[in-house]
Amino acid sequence: MSATWLRELLRRPAGAFGAAVLVLLVLCALVSLVWTPQDPFATDPFHRWQGPTAAHPFGTDGTGRDILSYVFAGTRTTVLVAVLSAAVAAVVGVVLAALGALGPRRLREPLAVLIDVLIAFPVLLIAIMLSAVLGPSLGVVVIATGIGFGVNIARVSRGEIRRVARTGYVLAARAAGLGPVRTLTDHVLPNTAPVLIVQLSLSAAVAVLAEAGLSFLGYGAPPSTPSWGRLLNDLQDYVTLYPLTVIWPGLAITVTVLAFNLFGDALREATDPRLVRSRSERTR
């Protein structure tokens, strides 16, 4: 089944583009752990605000740092936040959705209200409140994004889990004596995986934007951690004098978020059996 999804995904231009960008992003993050074109934090006051050259293809900033090396190193922060935020969102979303769909009635209704209340809080607001208590860090971004999008996953997945839980094979598993946890892990979650995977890809896109926005505002990555949002913050006062410098981190954020969104949309089309069935009927 996974091979079929992969073929359907890569057959679409949006899916192929999204997958290619995300693979490139992960490769850059891994390579940046051991090598960057130059030291991303090395300053050179004699080469400030240089335009693109052979030594500095993206130019330099106001301290003489090589922008290419900094953007290159920032990929590992982006990948780390996206993966960890998606993991937190998956745990929060699955737990809330499972309890809201399969739990006792006295628990389902309060959980539905709690999810609606949490959805009303924007991710950035949650992160700023946590930063005020815990201090700015990438951990705050991960927790805030994970909780913020986890409740969205719970709301979307709750109805799907309830639908699958009422199917014949799940009822048969219960009648055979399978416990609720095993029923959930062996039968319910595998059959709701497409919905969860798509939502997690979208949560990763939100995490990239949240990290960049919070680092731009000073609530995200510390100065010792390369971040595209922090680089934009460092360059914002000079955007009218050196507009080319802000293009590179801004373009990196835009392309990454676009890739996650296109990948999620293509994945939904490739894994939704109703869409696959509809396409097969049209081609007959």
At 1, is the pLDDT very low, low, confident or very high (cuts 50, 70, 90)?
very low
Please give the pLDDT value at position 272: 65
Residue 278 has pLDDT above 60, yes or no: no
Q: What share of the chain is helix, strand, coil (3-state, %, to 5)?
A: 75, 0, 20
Q: Does the predicted TM-score (pTM) go above 0.85?
A: yes
Residues 48, 50, 53, 56: is their CA dihedral positive or negative?
positive
Could you give the percent of the chain with pLDDT greater than 90?
46
DSSP secondary structure, 41-66, as one string: T---GGGTT--S-SS-TT-B-TT--B
d(CA 42, CA 153): 42
266 or 26, higher pLDDT: 26
> Please, which pLDDT band fits residue 7 given cuts at 50, 70 and 90?
confident
Q: Which domains does the chain have, with CATH numbers?
A: 2-32+64-282 (1.10.3720.10)
- Average pLDDT estimate for 193-198: 82
More reliable by pLDDT, 188 or 20? 20
- pLDDT given for residue 2 in this prediction: 57
| Rounded Cα distance, 170 and 36, in Å | 52
**Interval 201-249: pLDDT, tens:** 888 998 999 899 989 988 888 888 999 999 999 999 999 999 999 999 9
86 pLDDT exceeds 70?
yes
